[in-house]
């Protein structure tokens, strides 16, 4: 595991780096767990751009991931550790004793040949999945469900881990990597350990071409455009826009809340991630 830095043989190589992918064991995905992704270029079914600065990029094949980890009381053996172009962490192919194969998010430190298991009373070791009520307090966890049986929604990014802070009645308090503290039902499942590929945050893209390979087009400032293309465009010389920042359709870009205030999970947040003072409670 590490980051490889090349000599500055070209301008694009200077100050850029890549992951060495030393942990990977194969570059051939399991065909039965793959499906095609259709590109949209950021456009909706009318052909109108609704997500700007997207398009192009290398073709991707989607790997079907088992986020639910609901095959209980049957051990599985880790067959491979693979790269997934659709996420920043690695994935592992596991094979159960009945022959079924599934992809899971690879925890940090897992190796080919390791045995993992899911269930109510399995051993709390790296890679095992179980309800939060069975996980000891203080352990690092990832792929956490918000609703029992729905599949993991929280803490799925490379190198991330949540932590169980307390248990009270039917609720378990967990601390997320962002600093947010929230309550989740004790029946919800989580996987023991930290997500793999922590060096992802140390990789420097280095040039615009690599972002184009990822399907990202140049992000152009509104005030650098013409008035016909953006409300903040035009003006003599380098203007500062002349108005509050907004989108091409005139929607104000700063100061507004983007989270749905009627989200039912809001009331389960004890401490928000954007608090100025750590430890301040939000009631």
Q: What is the per-residue pLDDT for 201? A: 95
Asked if residue 215 belongs to a domain, the reply is no
* pLDDT tens digits, one per residue of 197-252: 999 999 999 999 999 999 999 999 999 999 999 999 999 999 998 899 999 999 99
Overall average pLDDT of the 141-156 stretch: 96
Q: What is the per-residue pLDDT for 91? A: 97
For residue 105, give its domain range: 3-200+259-271
pLDDT above 70 (res 275): no
Asked if residue 248 belongs to a domain, the reply is no
CATH number at residue 7: 2.40.50.140
* Secondary structure string (H, E, C) spanning the chain: CCEEECCCCCCCCCCCEEECCCCCCCCCCCHHHEEECCCCCCECCCCCECCCCECCCCCCEEECECCCCCCCCCCEEEEEEECCCCCCCCEEEEEECCCCEEEEECECCCCCCCEECECCCCCCCCCCEEEHHHCCCCCEEECEECCCCCCEEECCCCCCCEEEEEEECCEEEEECCCCCEEEEECCCEEEECCECCHHHHHCCCCCHHHHHHCCECCCCCHHHCCCCCCCCCCCCCCCCCCCCCECCCCCECCCCCCCCCCCHHHHHEEECCCCCCCCCCCC
* pLDDT tens digits, one per residue of 34-88: 999 999 999 999 999 999 999 999 999 999 999 999 999 899 999 999 999 999 9
Asked if residue 58 belongs to a domain, the reply is yes
The model carries a pTM of 0.89
pLDDT above 70 (res 276): no
Q: How many domains does the chain have?
A: 1
Asked if residue 12 belongs to a domain, the reply is yes
Asked if residue 71 belongs to a domain, the reply is yes
Asked if residue 85 belongs to a domain, the reply is yes
Asked if residue 207 belongs to a domain, the reply is no
Asked if residue 279 belongs to a domain, the reply is no
């Amino acid at each position: 595991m590490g980051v490889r830095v090349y000599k500055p043989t070209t301008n694009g190589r200077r100050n850029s780096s890549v992951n060495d992918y030393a942990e990977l064991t194969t570059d051939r995905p399991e065909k039965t767990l793959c499906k095609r992704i259709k590109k949209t270029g950021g456009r909706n079914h009318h052909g109108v751009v609704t997500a700007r600065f997207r398009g192009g990029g290398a073709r991707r094949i989607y790997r079907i991931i088992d986020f639910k980890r609901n095959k209980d009381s049957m051990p599985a053996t880790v067959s491979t550790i693979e790269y997934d172009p659709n996420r920043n962490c690695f994935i592992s192919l596991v094979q159960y004793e009945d022959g079924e194969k599934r992809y899971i998010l690879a925890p940090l430190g897992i190796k080919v040949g390791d045995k993992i298991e899911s269930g109510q009373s399995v051993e709390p070791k790296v890679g095992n999945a179980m309800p939060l009520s069975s996980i000891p307090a203080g352990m690092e966890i990832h792929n956490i469900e918000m609703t029992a049986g729905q599949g993991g929604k929280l803490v799925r990014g490379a190198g991330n881990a949540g932590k169980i802070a307390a248990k009270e009645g039917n609720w378990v308090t967990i601390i997320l990597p962002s600093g947010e503290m929230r309550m989740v039902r004790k029946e919800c499942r989580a996987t023991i350990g930290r997500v793999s590929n922590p060096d992802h945050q140390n990789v420097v893209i280095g040039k615009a071409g690599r972002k184009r390979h990822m399907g990202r087009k140049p992000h152009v400032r509104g005030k650098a455009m013409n008035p016909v293309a953006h409300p903040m465009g035009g003006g003599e010389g380098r203007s500062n826009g002349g108005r509050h920042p907004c989108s091409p359709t005139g929607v104000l870009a700063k100061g507004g809340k983007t989270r749905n205030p009627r989200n039912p999970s809001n009331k389960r947040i004890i401490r928000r991630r954007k608090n100025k003072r750590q430890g301040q409670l939000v009631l």
